[in-house]
Amino acid sequence: MKFLYLMLLVFLTSCQNQGPTQIISTILPQPNLQKINNDHFVLTSSSQIVYDERLKESALFLIEFLEQGANFRFSENYKTADIEFIFDASISETSGYHLTISSEKISVKASSEMGAFYAVQSLRQLLPEALENQTFTENKILIQAQHIEDVPQFAYRGMHLDVGRHFFPVAFIKKYIDMLALLKMNTFHWHLTEDQGWRIEIKKYPKLQEVAAWRDETLIGHYNDMPHQFDGKRYGGYYTQEEVKEIVAYASARHITVIPEIEMPGHSQAAIAAYPHLGCTGENPGVAKLWGVFEDIYCPKEETFAFLEDILDEVLELFPSEYIHIGGDEAPKTRWKNCESCQALIKKEGLKDEHELQSYFITRMEGYLNSKGRQIIGWDEILEGGLAPNATVMSWRGVEGAVAAAKQGHKVIMTPTSHCYFDYYQSENDTEPLAIGGFLPLEKVYHFNLIPEGLTAEESQFVLGAQGNLWTEYMKDEKQVEYMAFPRAIALSEVLWTSEELRNYGDFVKRLEHFQERMDALDINYANHLYEIKGEIQSNENGIFFQLKSESNSNPIFYATDGSEPNLLSYKYENAISVAEDLNIKAAVFDENEKQLSSIFEETIKMHKAVGKKIELSVEPSKVYSGSGAVGLINGIQGSDKRYGDKEWLGFWGDDLEILIDLGAETEINKISTRFYDAIGQWIYAPSIIEVAVLDSERNNLTKHNATLVDGRKNVKNLEVRVENLDARYIHINIKNYGTIPDGSQGAGHKAWLFIDEVFVE
């Protein structure tokens, strides 16, 4: 074994002449075995590093980090090592490592560069944050003594970035990769082609750079804002092949595989704008300037397959990854249904319909990539019409795709909208920046269970891991991407790395609170919602109560119920607040210095006549949009106008719904009202038919109404039924789902979502 000894010259005299600062262990993601001791290792200017040549790159990464952080240089030395990198073949997992810190030395053991690199990332988090931005000035560091034996739970630990909707420079892509490396993520899914922009240089087809990479203008505001408005500014860009090589090499040095996504057959309007003969009509649709799903998709003819094979040939030269992502999602079949050559191909190949034609398309492209020694990944739509033989499925529309693929023996990567779409809102605060919709708070990400119900232990082995997705329709710059990604990507990293029995959300929050100082030093524009307050209505035999809590429980909450802003002279929250009448609560978190840490939390509770009563639903809401359950429809709290995925809205996919509310005794009522979300860009449609019946104690109809919806606030439709002084016990609401999404709309051919809010009975 060959050793290279280096002197580690570290950390000159502190300008304040203060003693060394002890660093507390706060590693993210949480190691799977960590024993902290009462001693510490002292890192000084006389410390030395030794490494095995097989772990050289990881050792040099640490040296460079310390060199840049403290502005010092190294010289060779042949004395005993204080920090040693030891190759240990007994550590069977290539991504595993042992890190031992004692008063005498720091020892890193691994059987691969990857494992040693992950050990360095853990050690890095035990060092001062000031090293990250070269502001460290002390002359010693005390590192907590401990022993770590660590290995990830899942093999695929990924983050995605869409650069098709908005384009980001090379420097930012590297910064993004650096954060993934720090979190021990190992895959960067780079979404390079879209309807709104083609972002990778293909030398054989220069119009992809000249035409497809640029759109004439960009949508202003949200897709659901009508009428659509645009900024009138040409927008675009692309990565040269040299830049792609640079990024792939940069990621590889950090043990991150870059998987490119080249969309097919859908999300291809930009390419068709450059080469119109690739579409079914031969017409130029233009590069899309609106978000969404478009009918102009690749036509499955020989010219198209030749074009895509040429593109993939160049892509394969740039990306050494085993997997190539070919999309396969949201491909409307309208053009294919009206295309003579498509229909002839269906007949020739003995296919049943256009869905099987898509399977033919995907299978053919998979065969080409397989012939080059590569494998495909596709979104779960590639299941439709029959799954290509060796495909790996990314399940995004829920978990059904994952279950179906795993049961067929196909590998699965979990990325459902419910837990992995980081373009969704993450806070109920109205000051949050514009997002596509939905609601995915940090805690929900952290409690993501990757293994879907319905899989056997053997089938569960096909679940490789998960990935967080960042679709950038509403992320115009790098700061916004960071805000949406972090800290939710940090929560996902712990879900993927740390065993479930060791994960504890309260402990995670404490470590994250400390980790934010590191992100500050790294100039990461993360979202800080740790001090935000959440409220929850509760009822029991003693009455109805409202509970307040914040992510960080170390600081007190003060609240007011008289409409005033909370301060230290307001009520200090200690027990749940009794609710006997309509109530408006405002609250905030304060620190010991009387500084307000959180934004103002505000909730209005309306004590209508159904609050705390009994309610039955004919079908259960979707598991991914279950809100507060059925009782959430009669808890006195209305849902958000922006976030249909919050705890007050209930979502149902394709189901009709019947609601029965039991008031417990005949009660005088005058009005019944509720709201439905209506956002066709998210496949959410207000219902087509609603029937409201009021019944007596014997369940005889007192009155029945076929209700009509009226426009409410943005993305919301209101229902209101007035009855005159009726003594009623039951209220029955029969809701007909919109049905199948029509051609020409996003999600065409799929079932529509139905979302319903609080049912007020007055």
Q: Express each pLDDT in 559-601 by its tens digit.
A: 999 888 898 888 999 999 999 899 999 999 998 888 888 888 8
Q: Using an 8 Å Cβ cutoff, are 420 and 468 in contact? A: yes
| DSSP β-bridge partners for residue 662 | 614, 730
- The whole-angstrom separation of Cα 245 and Cα 242 is 5
* Residue 276: cis peptide before it, omega within 30 degrees of 0: no
* Residue at token pair 């099987």: 356
Residue, of 215 and 640, whose pLDDT is higher: 215
- The whole-angstrom separation of Cα 115 and Cα 93 is 8
Helix, strand or coil, per DSSP, at residue 437: coil
pLDDT score, position 4: 38
pLDDT score, position 2: 33
202-211, 251-260, 403-412: least confident range = 403-412
For the chain, give the longest Cα–Cα distance. 94
- What average pLDDT does range 305-331 have in this prediction? 96
pLDDT score, position 608: 94
Q: For the CA atoms of the chain, what is the radius of gyration? A: 29
* Residue at token pair 């799977």: 32
pLDDT score, position 610: 93
Q: What is the CATH number of domain 3-150?
A: 3.30.379.10
507-516, 530-539, 651-660: least confident range = 530-539
**pLDDT band per the 50, 70, 90 thresholds, residue 12:** very low
The reply to whether domains 533-605 and 614-761 share a CATH topology is no
With a cut of 80, say whether residue 386 has pLDDT above it. no
- What average pLDDT does range 546-554 have in this prediction? 84
**pLDDT band per the 50, 70, 90 thresholds, residue 387:** low
**In the chain, where the domains are located:** 3-150, 156-506, 533-605, 614-761
Residue, of 657 and 642, whose pLDDT is higher: 657
With a cut of 60, say whether residue 3 has pLDDT above it. no
Structural tokens at position 366: 């998979």
pLDDT score, position 500: 94
With a cut of 70, say whether residue 193 has pLDDT above it. yes
- What average pLDDT does range 78-88 have in this prediction? 85
* Full-model pTM: 0.86
pLDDT score, position 647: 84
- The whole-angstrom separation of Cα 142 and Cα 153 is 30
Q: Using an 8 Å Cβ cutoff, are 530 and 552 in contact? A: yes
With a cut of 80, say whether residue 705 has pLDDT above it. yes
pLDDT digits (tens, 9 = 90+) for 233-243: 999 999 999 99
pLDDT digits (tens, 9 = 90+) for 391-439: 899 999 888 888 988 998 999 999 999 999 999 999 988 789 999 988 8
- The whole-angstrom separation of Cα 248 and Cα 2 is 30
Q: Using an 8 Å Cβ cutoff, are 725 and 655 in contact? A: no
34-43, 100-109, 712-721: least confident range = 712-721
pLDDT score, position 385: 66
pLDDT score, position 154: 97
Q: Using an 8 Å Cβ cutoff, are 151 and 95 in contact? A: yes
CB under 8 Å to 333, separation ≥6 — which residues?
Answer: 354, 355, 357, 358, 749
Rounded mean pLDDT of the chain?
91
**Residue 475 burial by CB count (10 A; 0-12/13-18/19+): exposed, middle or buried?**
buried
- What average pLDDT does range 118-144 have in this prediction? 92
With a cut of 80, say whether residue 18 has pLDDT above it. no
**pLDDT band per the 50, 70, 90 thresholds, residue 73:** low
Helix, strand or coil, per DSSP, at residue 145: strand
Q: What is the CATH number of domain 533-605?
A: 2.60.40
The CATH architecture of the domain made up of 614-761 is Sandwich (2.60)
For residue 285, what are the CA distances in angstroms to 143, 212, 289, 318, 361?
A: 61, 11, 11, 29, 22
Share of the chain above pLDDT 90, in %: 72
pLDDT score, position 74: 57
With a cut of 50, say whether residue 202 has pLDDT above it. yes
pLDDT score, position 459: 93
pLDDT score, position 80: 73
Yes or no: domain 156-506 corresponds to CATH 3.20.20.80: yes
